[in-house]
Amino acid sequence: MHNFQQIQQQAREEAQGLSDVKALGAYRLKYLGKKGIVAEIFASLSAAVPQDKAAIGKAANDLRALVTQWIEEKSKGLAPAGSPLAGQDAGIDPSLPGTAAVLGRPHLLTQTIDEIIDVFEKLGFASIETPEIETEFHNFTGLNIALDHPSRDAFDTFYLDQDDPGAKGRRLLLRSHTSPGQIRIMKEHKPPLAVIVPGRVYRPDAVDASHSLMFHQVEGFLVDRKVQFSDLKGLLMEFCKRFFGSSLKMRFRPHFFPFTEPSAEVDISAETLGIGKKKWLEILGCGMINPKVFEAVGYPSGKYTGFAFGLGVERMAMLKYGINDIRLFYQNDVRFLRQF
């Protein structure tokens, strides 16, 4: 009969000495293979005397269980043969070529918004987000846009099937511009204020290369005593030069908004931007905050003046990077996105 104790002892020592995956394979074959030691012991059963059979069977089973366990324990910590770590009990092999992580990056619109925020923060503005679901008061009435006034058509709106809990018979809506941010922030805070409000806005426009039913704006406003139109002009010129480059030419063109008086739109010169010739491209609306807006937020009459502006983020990115179709921003085609 075999000396089972000695076989087990030897198997244990050999297992302890295993130093790489190849050696482990050979060890497995030696003990558990078809012609391995465990199989050999079982084969010896037929020739054994009856009173030994139980002990032999048990010894073979025990050996198989132990060897299996040692192999399992060892295989967790072994490096492949030939690697500098073979022979050490290491769980990883840092010399193997790694799997490169594919790094993403912020979406071009996020990059653009971050860049706009960065410029204004350096100029002393705080960035605050306000809700996309708004009340008629914040989106219209507080901004001096009467609900039955035709100027409302310019801000055509998606209404929600949900009542405004604060105004009887009125429904909530998706904001059609970021200007309601002015109302919310002025209601909460007293001047001096210098704030920008970045975010999404919604309008039921037919989608084409230059219209989307969702897009992004950055609102900005500054309120204090004795703020003048020249302050607005200086700020926007500084912003545009920092965003587009210092050779940029821009112009202020008279316009109308119910919440600013006087109002203007700002165009930048395509030529100085390096795209096309002799064309002026509109990038934002602005003006001096209408005293009716100060009244709506409860500021004392005549005490403060201020300016406001609202710029289109997609517009800015399209002009800066020469993108000709607004839909590219939302299709999430990596061939487009990874260019920026």
By CB under 6 A, residue 310 contacts ligand PHE: yes
Mark the segment that binds ligand PHE (CB under 6 A) among 51-59, 133-141, 280-288, 319-327.
280-288
DSSP code at position 164:
-
Among 67, 308, 313, 317, binds ligand PHE (CB under 6 A): 308
- Give the whole-angstrom CA distance, residue 252 versus residue 163: 40
- Give the whole-angstrom CA distance, residue 276 versus residue 230: 30
Count of residues in contact with ligand PHE, rule CB under 6 A: 12
Q: Are the CB atoms for 196 and 115 separated by under 8 Å?
A: no
Task: Find the length of the chain.
Answer: 340
Within residues 243-262, the interface with ligand PHE by CB under 6 A covers: 257, 260
Query: Residue of minimal CB distance from ligand PHE?
Result: 310
Please, which residues bridge with residue 174 across strands? Answer: 133
By CB under 6 A, residue 285 contacts ligand PHE: yes
52 Cβ contact list (under 8 Å, min separation 6): 1
Among 174, 195, 286, 297, binds ligand PHE (CB under 6 A): 286
Q: Whole-number minimum distance, CB 333 to ligand PHE, in Å?
A: 28
Between 21-32 and 50-76, two packed helices, what is the crossing angle to 10 degrees? 170
Our CB check for ligand PHE shows the closer of 41 and 266 to be: 266
Q: Are the CB atoms for 333 and 307 separated by under 8 Å?
A: no
Q: Whole-number minimum distance, CB 277 to ligand PHE, in Å?
A: 27
Our CB check for ligand PHE shows the closer of 15 and 222 to be: 222
Our CB check for ligand PHE shows the closer of 56 and 183 to be: 183
By CB under 6 A, residue 142 contacts ligand PHE: no
Our CB check for ligand PHE shows the closer of 18 and 236 to be: 236
Structure tokens at 74: 């060892």
Structure tokens at 146: 């009467």
Site map (CB under 6 A) of ligand PHE, residues 189-228, x = contact: ------------------------------x---------
By CB under 6 A, residue 120 contacts ligand PHE: no
**Locate tokens 């100029």: which residue?**
123
Q: Whole-number minimum distance, CB 168 to ligand PHE, in Å?
A: 27
Give the chain's radius of gyration (CA, Å).
Answer: 37
Q: Whole-number minimum distance, CB 278 to ligand PHE, in Å?
A: 25
- Give the whole-angstrom CA distance, residue 225 versus residue 191: 8
Within residues 162-191, the interface with ligand PHE by CB under 6 A covers: 177, 179
Our CB check for ligand PHE shows the closer of 130 and 260 to be: 260
By CB under 6 A, residue 288 contacts ligand PHE: no
Our CB check for ligand PHE shows the closer of 96 and 154 to be: 154
83 Cβ contact list (under 8 Å, min separation 6): 20, 93, 95, 96
Mark the segment that binds ligand PHE (CB under 6 A) among 58-66, 122-130, 191-199, 306-314.
306-314
Question: Which contacts of 7-16 are long-range, i.e. CB under 8 A and separated by 24 or more positions?
Answer: 7/37, 7/63, 8/59, 8/62, 8/63, 8/66, 11/37, 11/63, 11/66, 11/67, 11/70, 12/66, 12/70, 15/67, 15/70, 15/71, 15/74
Q: Which residues bind ligand PHE (CB under 6 A)?
A: 177, 179, 219, 257, 260, 263, 285-287, 308-310
